């Protein structure tokens, strides 16, 4: 099997044992609470106060490497780029966050380095490290952690929430961080975590559906838009940002965004390019559960070049969504969205694989790229 | 010119003179504030406290019918279905809201009835009425207003925000309202109004961009999703809901929504169909400013039938986006997004017309439908 036909999962999470131990030791959220249910120990992850359904049942697939490998084998996944799941270090004081980030980065390096070989030159597991992105952290501490990660050979990037050091990612104070990440060639995986005010979801009990299905993608959309508006991509053109959940709603709202910018005296002329141009500089996971969604995202990436400053804008010609597919890559969101009753494979995973396979206008070559080749290229694993 | 080739604008707003008089009389937002700028009277619409850029400059195109007709003539628009702009009656006490709704409905009827003829049987202007949707209003008052509107022959629907009578549109108390609207055959135009918490936009001054480009579509998406989850479309299958801004982010998040519902013990099995099915029951304006966006929305509408309960789900076959186009219709969002310097036509309008013209996979017939025929059909104006 050639490397180009590998299946690579770039959206897959882990709660490392050291992180779980911390969560188990805590008396307020986020925490793992063990109780007894029907005579068996029952671990529940509580992220929010008033968690729906008494918290999310968690088990070894949240923390054991063997379970990750088993999951990969069951679904034909050759290689995974693993990231700590939210809420990362968000709830810690700066000194604790710094220490734990450093320890978890070492742990994740070991987790990957000791994983089975995929080929003589590749392991089956690589990772996204953590930065201690919490309020009152020093920028120096962040830069030191980037330096640490860049020396850990199995860590290929970092995962990041949307809060930054308290003021969001459009905070000018983060400029040295973007600069250092760009220089180190680390991919930034932007991932949401309950960043939308829960009042929006109303009073009805809809479980986790509204914050997960809508809130998470909105949060990614807002954070990325704020990054665009703050000029981060103009100042750091080599920054590689990978967006969770196919960029949330950003693709569908990007032309409206461009129109609103054009019509706003505060923002018009601030950016080097039309807002749609920046979408062509981003990377998108293919975790959208439908072929029409994926095809559309690839359209939006493919059309971006039309919106470079000085270009003609819309030309009327059909965009070539094959080109857009190069910036998209398969992910599972494991260990979330677990199998539904009676299915051996996880339906959420099968749906995402089928979605890639069914995108109209992508040839076999583009589909294989999205399944793995694009990720191997992004993470410099095409050895 | 056949009726099928008419250009019809279904997303176009008016602040009727009676409503403007109220706004001018107020000392807190929403209000119209007249001051003197460079020796000329300067009217500013202030909707929010701390309005960016000192409020939105407003003029006769916000309130005069002749200006609406001039705008229509300049852009080749034959017929408009006009609605009061946000914030409607949201800020009023129930009795005031009821009285003013009734008066404004009569005013709008007159505004339309006195408009020029388009053909022997059609005027150039039709309207969406207002319901007094404010906290503590009685359901009886709402039903009486629906009754009033249904007797005003130029009013073809109502425009509605997302707050309902205080608890959102998934409030069970509104069931008789949906029932009455369905029976009366009135189209419900769902429109957002600053319903997303402004804290999400951060501390940087980005003018109106973030609430308008992202907040408005998010609000529509949340409200529609909450309607779906509450079973409103299962209970009121003939309800005709038209979504502003092409449904916001709902199309792009609909497969994720379906997956989140499947995986949530609180919600799974509550709905009669997969979430994606309901998108095929909705109507969408074509106010998304890009051809890829519009084509995608039509894909999502066209695929909905696959997700009817008992249907096969995804079939792997390409969807026929031509079918989806039947539920989409041109709009301008006049008088917002005014012309940019040096352009005679409004760029926002031209962009939306070009977007329709450039959708890949729509033939001339579908494009004409979206430009006007679909709206004439939805509003029973194909006489």
Residue B272: pLDDT band (50, 70, 90) is: very high
Evaluate whether A297 touches A288 at the Cβ level (below 8 Å): yes
In chain A, residues with a C-beta closer than 8 Å to the C-beta of B199 are: 197
Please report the pLDDT score of residue B55 as a whole number. 85
Neighbouring-strand partners of residue A37: A40
**Pick the residue with more confidence: A201 or A49?**
A201
Structure confidence at residue A341 as a pLDDT band (50, 70, 90): confident
Say yes or no: ipTM exceeds 0.90: yes
Determine the Cα–Cα distance for residues B74 and B57; give it in Å rounded to an integer.
Answer: 21
Average per-residue pLDDT in chain A? Answer: 94
Q: Measured between beta carbons, which residues in chain B are less than 8 angstroms from residue A249?
A: 214, 217-218, 221, 248-249, 252-253
Please report the DSSP string for B336-376 in residue order.
SSPPPTT-SS-HHHHHHHHHHHT-TT--HHHHHIIIIIHHH
Q: Please tell me the distance from the alpha carbon of residue A357 to that of residue B175, in angstroms, as a whole number.
A: 42
Residue holding tokens 């307020």?
A: A28
Interface test with B, best of A171, A276, A288, A290 (most B CBs within 10 A): A290
CA A304 to centroid of chain Cα atoms = 21
The answer, yes or no, to whether residue A251 has pLDDT greater than 60, is yes
Interface of A with B in 70-89 (CB under 8 A): none
* Beta bridge mates, B128: B83, B157
Query: Is residue A199 pLDDT above 70, yes or no?
Result: yes
Rounded-to-integer distance, Cα B35 and Cα A42, Å: 66
Tokens of B286: 């074509």
Q: Is the bond preceding B104 in cis, omega lying within 30 degrees of 0?
A: no
Helix (H, G, I), strand (E, B) or coil at B296: helix
Name the least confident of B42-56, B241-255, B321-335: B42-56
Q: Is the peptide bond before A87 cis (omega within 30 degrees of 0)?
A: yes
Q: From B357, B380, B49, select the one nearest B186 (Cα to Cα).
A: B380
CB–CB of B292 and A314 under 8 A? no
For residue A199, what is the nearest residue in chain B, using CA coordinates?
B197
3-class DSSP assignment, residue A56: strand
- Arithmetic mean of pLDDT over chain B: 94
If you average pLDDT over residues A145-157, what whole number do you get? 98
Strand partners, B160: B190
Secondary structure class of A48 (helix, strand, coil) = coil
Q: Compute the average pLDDT of residues A323-341.
A: 93
Q: Which two tokens stand for residue B51?
A: 């309005």
pLDDT of residue B266: 86
How much is the pLDDT for B312? 65
CA atoms within 13 A on the CB side of B8: 31
Q: Which of A210, A221, A232, A252 to probe the B interface (max B CBs under 10 A)?
A: A252
Parallel, antiparallel, or unpaired: how do β-strands B125-130 and B79-84 relate? parallel
- Say if CB B127 and CB B109 are below 8 A apart: yes
Cβ-defined contact of B253 to A249 (cutoff 8 Å)? yes
pLDDT at residue B338, as a whole number = 83
Determine the Cα–Cα distance for residues A336 and A193; give it in Å rounded to an integer. Answer: 14
A256·B288 Cβ contact <8 A: yes
Give the mean pLDDT of B169-181: 98
* Model confidence at A1: pLDDT above 60: no
pLDDT band at B37 (very low <50, low <70, confident <90, very high): confident
Cβ contact B207–A299 (<8 Å)? no
Q: List the structure tokens of A153.
A: 């050979």
**Region of poorest pLDDT, from A238-252, B40-54, B95-109:** B40-54
Q: How many CB atoms lie within 10 A of CB B229?
A: 26
- The confidence score (pLDDT) of residue A343 equals 66
Q: Which residue of A has its CA nearest to B199?
A: A197
Verdict on whether the full-model pTM lies above 0.95: yes
Q: Yes or no: say if A334 and A360 are a contact pair by the CB < 8 Å rule.
A: no
**pLDDT for residue B291:** 97
pLDDT classification of A5: cutoffs 50, 70, 90 = confident
Q: Which pLDDT does position A316 carry in this prediction?
A: 60
Q: Please report the sign of the dihedral spanned by the C-alpha atoms of residue A69, residue A73, residue A79, residue A81.
A: negative
User: Cα(B188)–Cα(B177) distance, rounded to whole angstroms?
Assistant: 11
How is residue B275 written in tokens? 């979430």
Q: Rounded to whole angstroms, how far apart are CA atoms B192 and B163?
A: 9
Q: In this prediction, what percent of chain B has a pLDDT beyond 90?
A: 87
Of B252, B262, B263, the CB nearest to A252: B252
Taking residues B158-173, what's their average pLDDT?
Answer: 98
**CB interface of A with B, residues 298-337, below 8 Å:** 299-300, 303, 314, 316, 318-319, 337
Please judge whether A249 and B210 are an interchain contact, meaning their C-beta atoms are less than 8 angstroms apart. no
The answer to whether B179 and B232 are in contact (CB under 8 A) is no
Q: Looking at the complex, report in whole angstroms how far the Cα of residue B71 sits from the nearest Cα belonging to chain A.
A: 18
pLDDT at A313: 61
Closest to A14 in 3D by CA, of A82, A72, A115: A82
Residues B299 and A292: beta-carbon distance below 8 Å: yes
Q: What is the pLDDT of residues A27-42, one digit of tens each?
A: 999 999 988 878 888 9
């Amino acid at each position: 099997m050639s490397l180009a036909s590998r299946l690579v999962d770039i959206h897959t999470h882990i709660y490392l044992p050291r992180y779980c131990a911390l969560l188990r030791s805590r008396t307020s959220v986020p925490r793992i609470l063990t109780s007894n249910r029907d005579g068996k120990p029952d671990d529940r992850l509580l992220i929010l106060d008033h968690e729906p359904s008494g918290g999310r049942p968690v088990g070894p697939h949240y923390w054991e490497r063997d379970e990750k490998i088993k999951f990969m084998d069951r679904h034909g996944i050759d290689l995974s780029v693993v990231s700590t799941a939210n809420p990362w270090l968000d709830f810690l004081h700066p000194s604790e966050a710094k220490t734990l980030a450093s320890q978890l980065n070492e742990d994740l390096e070991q987790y990957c380095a000791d994983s089975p070989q995929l080929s003589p030159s590749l392991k089956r597991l690589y990772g996204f490290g953590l930065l201690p992105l919490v309020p009152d952290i020093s920028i120096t501490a962040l830069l030191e952690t980037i330096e640490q990660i860049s020396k850990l050979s199995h860590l290929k990037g970092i995962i990041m929430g949307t809060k930054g050091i308290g003021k969001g990612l459009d905070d000018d104070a983060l400029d040295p961080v973007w600069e250092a990440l760009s220089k180190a060639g680390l991919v930034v995986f932007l991932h949401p975590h309950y960043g939308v005010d829960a009042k929006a979801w109303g009073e009805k009990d809809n479980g986790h559906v509204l914050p997960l299905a809508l809130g998470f993608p909105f949060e990614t959309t807002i954070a990325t838009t704020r990054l665009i508006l703050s000029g981060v991509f103009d100042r750091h053109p080599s920054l590689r940002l990978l967006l969770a959940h196919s960029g949330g709603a950003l693709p569908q709202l990007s032309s409206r965004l461009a129109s609103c910018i054009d019509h706003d005296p505060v923002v018009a002329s601030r950016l080097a390019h039309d807002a749609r141009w920046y979408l062509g500089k981003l990377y998108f996971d293919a975790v959208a559960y439908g072929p029409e969604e994926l095809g559309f995202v690839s359209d939006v990436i493919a059309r971006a070049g039309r919106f470079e400053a000085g270009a003609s804008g819309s030309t009327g010609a059909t965009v070539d969504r094959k080109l857009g597919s190069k910036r998209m890559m398969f992910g599972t969101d494991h260990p979330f969205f677990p199998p539904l009753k009676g299915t051996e494979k996880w339906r959420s995973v099968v749906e995402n694989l089928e979605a890639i396979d069914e995108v109209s206008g992508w040839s076999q070559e583009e589909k294989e790229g999205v399944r793995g080749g694009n990720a191997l290229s992004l993470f410099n694993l095409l050895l």
